[in-house]
Structure 1
Amino acid sequence: MKILVIQQKMIGDVLTSSIMFEVLRAKYPNAQLDYLINTHTLAVVENNPNISNFIFFTKKEEHSKRALFKFAKNLRKNNYSVIIDVYSKLSSNIITLFSAANTKISYYKPYTTFVYTNNIKRYKNTKSKSGLAIVNRLQLLKPLGIEATDVKPKVYLTEAEIKNSKTLLESNGINLKKPLYMISVLGSGDNKTYPFAYMAKVIDRIVEQTKGQLLFNYIPSQKEQAQTIYSLCKEETKQYIFFDVFGKSLREFLAITKHCNALIGNEGGAINMAKALDIKTFAIFSPWISKDDWSLFENNDNVAVHLKDYKPELYNNKKEKEMKGEAYKLYQEFSPMFFYDKLNGFLQQTIS
């Protein structure tokens, strides 16, 4: 049997959808299980023993209809028995449509039902601590007779990667016997980034409570923004920040994070990656992102805070995504004072 899972775009989505392979491998130990992803997301699923092959959707196919159709026709030659389209957008609709698979599974959309043999309606709420993002993905396996719950994404690091990252940290003066925190200082965009002045206050609080060593998670193009947040921190706090120690690749970031007591900051891919490494997390949600969907496995080790928890009247029964255009205004309402108690409790259990 050959099965193709399609999940393009964001790193967090690709990591979260990788849970399917663990379940599929248990059901079909000898099957060929392939994963269609964008090239830049490979790092979070590299070395996953349950995935047979990676197929890359590149910018060429993304920006050219001709290239997309050629890609879909070539993929048809792989003769997949099952297509599971988690992405469920135009490009993956076309890829699935061209496929010769007998079973084609995706989420229900009234205008694409003709493409798929099984159209699964998403749950809008769940009692599961794993979160809707997990629950709805596992729903896509039901047409194969698979019932699964609470499967957690995993990142597979090599011993060499972990050893090299330890050497890097120690060579930069970091004492791994003392608390070490990775700070997700920036989100993937402005409307997913906690205001700089507020983030600086959160960082100050972390140092006040733990005297822990801090690493900033940022990419080179974000260095100026990260420096701005650094400049807003108290002078005492700055003594605990190792600003120039960071992963120069996504795999390096993952290996460094493995040595941290916790990852704290903007909700997004970094938070999900830390969870997949079994590192404790404290996530500050953007006001327009659904906490129900993306607060995965929330518990004492994985804490999440959202403006809606503190000022529900601002939403007036609107969905979070309806508030996207008001993200900046809503962020100003989201003072760190709201969640200091929660943060203090979280920090204490990371060093206890």
Structure 2
Amino acid sequence: MKFLVIQQKRVGDVLTSTIICNNLKKKYPNATIDFMGYTNCVDVLIGNPNIDNVIVLSHKVRKNYFSLFKFIFEIRAKKYDVVIDVYNKLETNLITLFSGANTKIAYHKWYTTLFYTHNLKRIDNTMDTNYGFAIENRLLLLEPLNLDKSTIDPFPKLFVSPKENEDTISLFEQHKIDKNKKIIMISLLGSEQSKTYPLEYMAKVVEYVASHKDVTILFNYFESQIEDAKKIYNSCSKSTQEKIRFDLLGSDLRSFVAIMNNCDIIIGNDGGAINMAKALNKPSFTIFSPFIEKKNWATFEDGSKNISVHLNDYKPDLIKNVHHDEIKKNASSLYQQFTPELFKDRIEFFMDQNL
């Protein structure tokens, strides 16, 4: 048996979709399971024993019709039996259609019966969820394959090599991190402004975290975000700054994964860093943007190990019956209503539970 799982987009999406591969390999240990994604997400697939080959669909190929069709026929030559298209956009519609696979699975859209043999309607997000709808809907794509539900593992996983761990321990020693103190990662900034908690508010969150004695704080941010990261750092009190190792930063995605693997908890903006921390089985406290549907991405929420907060939890009237696009348009002003004082007690509870 040969399987192809397709998931383009961001790190969180890709990492979440690896649960499809994990469960397929459990059911079909001798099968070949390939994963197709964008270049920027390959690092979260490294070391996963349930993925045999990673196929990169580059931006250059996607934007050139000749290159795309050449790529499509290269996929066809691999002779997959089953294609599971989690992304379900035009380019992957075509890849799946011409793959030659007998079983082609995707989410239902009005036109998808042209491309797929199984078109599954996403779970109604008004229902209760044990795992978060981002997880539930991916598990839904396995239903046509009749896997034993009692054996399903819903948890994404990241894999860190001994060498990566050793390098991180050496890095911690260089930055004089006390092994006897708890290490807290702060997901400082979102992937875009509309997903970034206001800088002055995040500085207060860092202060709350630093108020716990015997902690060391690491910041997660991209090099391109360093000016905003400095603004938050400079807004912190001197005593808090002394607990922050501002310059201890992963040089790439793999080094971040290894650093996170040696931290105790993560707190901050929703995004790839939070999803990677959860895949490393680290407790997480997530601050969601007002326009993000919390039920989708508040995965494995249990009120203790994984906790999240959203404007809707505290001031639901501000976004009640307001269209998603309008909420996103006004994310900045809505964020201003979402002050850290509202959930200070939740952060303190989370830290008490997990440190």
The normalised TM-score by structure 2 is 0.96
**Which of residues 323, 330, 339 in structure 1 aligns to 2:327?**
323
Distance 1:179 1:26 in 2: 35
Greater shift in the superposed pair: 338-347 or 211-220? 211-220
**Which of residues 346, 349, 352 in structure 1 aligns to 2:353?**
349
CA contact (8 A) 1:289 1:321 kept: no
User: What is the aligned partner in structure 1 of residue 81 from structure 2?
Assistant: 81
- Are 1:185 and 2:198 matched, yes or no? no
User: What is the aligned partner in structure 1 of residue 288 from structure 2?
Assistant: 285
CA positional deviation for 1:319: 5.3
Distance 1:182 1:157 in 2: 17
- Are 1:334 and 2:338 matched, yes or no? yes
Once superposed, which parts of structure 1, at least 4 consecutive aligned residues long, lie more than 4 Å away? 319-322
1:320-350 per-residue CA deviation (whole Å, 9 max, x = no partner) reads 4551111111111110011011111011122
SS of equivalent to 2:197: coil
CA contact (8 A) 2:82 2:102 kept: yes
SS of equivalent to 1:151: coil
Distance 1:340 1:147 in 2: 42
User: What is the aligned partner in structure 2 of residue 222 from structure 1?
Assistant: 225
- Are 1:213 and 2:216 matched, yes or no? yes
Q: Which runs of structure 2 are paired with 1:6-25 in the superposition (5 Å)?
A: 6-25=6-25
1:277-313 per-residue CA deviation (whole Å, 9 max, x = no partner) reads 0111110001101110000101211110000111111
User: What is the aligned partner in structure 1 of residue 36 from structure 2?
Assistant: 36
User: What is the aligned partner in structure 1 of residue 147 from structure 2?
Assistant: 146
Distance 1:47 1:319 in 2: 41
Q: Which runs of 5+ in 1 are unaligned?
A: none
User: What is the aligned partner in structure 1 of residue 51 from structure 2?
Assistant: 51
Distance 1:225 1:341 in 2: 26
Letter in 2 for 1:252: S
CA contact (8 A) 1:210 1:347 kept: no
1:242-273 per-residue CA deviation (whole Å, 9 max, x = no partner) reads 10001111111111111111111001110010
User: What is the aligned partner in structure 2 of residue 133 from structure 1?
Assistant: 134
Distance 1:108 1:147 in 2: 23
Distance 2:69 2:326 in 1: 34
- Are 1:305 and 2:306 matched, yes or no? no
Greater shift in the superposed pair: 94-103 or 64-73? 64-73
Identity of aligned residues (%): 47
CA positional deviation for 1:129: 2.3
CA contact (8 A) 1:176 1:259 kept: no
User: What is the aligned partner in structure 1 of residue 164 from structure 2?
Assistant: 161
Greater shift in the superposed pair: 209-218 or 110-119? 209-218
Greater shift in the superposed pair: 126-135 or 293-302? 126-135
- Are 1:262 and 2:272 matched, yes or no? no
CA positional deviation for 1:42: 1.0
Letter in 2 for 1:245: L
CA contact (8 A) 2:19 2:153 kept: no
Distance 1:292 1:263 in 2: 20
1:27-48 per-residue CA deviation (whole Å, 9 max, x = no partner) reads 1111110000111101111110
Alignment: residue pair count: 351
CA contact (8 A) 1:141 1:147 kept: no
Aligned Cα RMSD in Å?
A: 1.3
Distance 2:142 2:54 in 1: 20
Distance 1:136 1:295 in 2: 13
